[in-house]
Structure 1
């Protein structure tokens, strides 16, 4: 094992460096994992810009991670793994004791921390993580495909929260990575018609290639009329992957009476005005969704293994670890969907 390893440090979007630190050692119940691929998430860029409500600078990123077990600690499930096992990280670190954890909803643990967000992450050569926070990569799945499991699991969870989508109509607000994954998850869950909105024509075109029935300009003055025409009426479910005042106003206009709005995007800190009179009068349900649980991970793994996600459409750039700063910059560019950082043995 090396004595020193590389790890990415983000102080701001303009100050992303690679630091040298002592190599970690697996403790009780932990795995030492060598990173192979790690994604740059929208949460990462929001944090780097100083806009994320729950992440502080500086931080050490890497929660969308794939790697190979390098060493195994003792006890607490670690012995179920062996060096050479390929694994995907499930990064939610939870207490296991609060009412939410005891009911199985550990994704909203009262003490929740996220590996790579509130703790140092996997954008590094080696890292340690509790053995119960990893899933094995299935045989035949590439590391690039496996790197999409974590970002897909959040939309899978959001779709599950919306109820049975069989035969229902859906609008997805925002055609970024999360919106496109919601499109895939909603289609697999049985949605009959799906419209996607975005400001950018290229993103709308990609949504159509990935199976949307309609892709509409988010700033169209007659967006509601266009969506109703495409879907044959108001939508049963809206997935707001933008989470801003304008998108929430659109969601309330687009959803049918008695319909559901699922907030998937990370909203800005502070208040967001909404039309409570319409929410009340139309019996609209608005529900937030955060991360995922192991069941969502298993579903996401199955979806990717089945070919339901077009990896070539989603992964638009890769960079080596030493060029992590370029990866963050690329992630902010509108032409990119998912940017990955690859980690070779130094």
Structure 2
């Protein structure tokens, strides 16, 4: 086994380096995995910029991970060397009320692999065996790298109940917004409008099946959206989570409608129109990550061919160019940037 491995260390957007560290050793219930592909998430760039409310700098990124098992702990008998796996990165306690009820995605002591613990943007990593899933035969590593980011929209959409025949607005056409578009359509949404500031991202949303794509900064956005799809929306997914987007969400949603906050908001207070929330009986709900059920649904959705890799993977970089990958991810015209790892 290699004694030293490469691992990415993020101190800031301007200080992303490759460090040499001892190769990790799996515990009894852990796997040692060789990374093949790992995605750069919006949470990663937010954290690197010092804007993520729950990730402290410095940190070791890599939670959207695909790899190959190279060693197993004595208690990790369900996996074998050579298995291709993807990481479900929520590390939960299993003891709190939320975990006991099956909602371990909001565990009282939740840590996220690659956010609060060292991640997979490295040659090798260890992970509890119950936190990985096998990659189905026939699924490429690039497809598998989209399972984790797709699982979040799948979970968000599931929180709204049956979407069959309902109208949906999605605020933000970044990776999560676009994957929410696919998840909502798969769940039966009849008409979907997407908003974004950039024309290129709105055009991409239309190519991926949106019925309308509208400029997020338009002063008459709400009127445009209602005209385009025939009235207020049953469900609004806010994938931006800023003061302006939340104001738009409460204006766009129908009376008795549902606003789901998917994007990670900045720390601190965000004003909202409580008079509208009360008068219109608007339900506002947050959503965090996913559970195994959502993860498996995302796997099935990708395996079905509903998500085309070429629509989402817009750039790849080698591990030694991780800093360039972070820079590329800041380009709003990029969708998903992947880091590929050839091994030590």
Superposition TM-score, scaled by structure 1 size = 0.99
CA distance in 2, matches of 1:139, 1:30: 23
Instruction: Please list, as runs of the form range in 1=range in 2, the aligned pairs for 1:1-346 lying within 5 A after superposition.
Output: 1-75=1-75, 78-346=76-344
CA distance in 1, matches of 2:343, 2:261: 39
1:97-137 C-alpha deviation (Å, 9 max, x unpaired): 00000000000000000000000000000000000000000
CA displacement at 1:162 relative to structure 2: 1.2
CA displacement at 1:334 relative to structure 2: 1.2
CA distance in 2, matches of 1:4, 1:268: 37
CA distance in 2, matches of 1:335, 1:254: 26
Q: CA RMSD in A?
A: 0.5
1:161-204 C-alpha deviation (Å, 9 max, x unpaired): 11110000000000000000000000000000000000000000
1:34-78 C-alpha deviation (Å, 9 max, x unpaired): 000000000000000000000000000000000000001011xx1
CA displacement at 1:143 relative to structure 2: 0.2
Aligned to 1:122, what secondary structure does the other structure show?
Answer: coil
CA displacement at 1:221 relative to structure 2: 1.3
CA distance in 1, matches of 2:116, 2:7: 15
CA displacement at 1:310 relative to structure 2: 1.9
CA displacement at 1:335 relative to structure 2: 1.2
CA displacement at 1:342 relative to structure 2: 0.2
Aligned to 2:206, what secondary structure does the other structure show?
Answer: helix
Runs of 4+ in 1 over 6 A off after TM superposition: none
User: Does structure 2 retain, via aligned residues, the 8 Å contact 1:210–1:310?
Assistant: no
Which deviates more, 107-116 or 300-309? 300-309
Superposition TM-score, scaled by structure 2 size = 1.00
CA distance in 2, matches of 1:147, 1:294: 16
- 5+ residue gaps, structure 1, are none
CA displacement at 1:265 relative to structure 2: 0.1
Alignment coverage as a number of residue pairs:
344
CA distance in 2, matches of 1:335, 1:156: 23
Aligned to 1:162, what secondary structure does the other structure show?
Answer: coil
Aligned to 1:259, what secondary structure does the other structure show?
Answer: strand
Aligned to 1:319, what secondary structure does the other structure show?
Answer: strand
Aligned to 1:65, what secondary structure does the other structure show?
Answer: strand
1:200-232 C-alpha deviation (Å, 9 max, x unpaired): 000000000000000000011111111111211
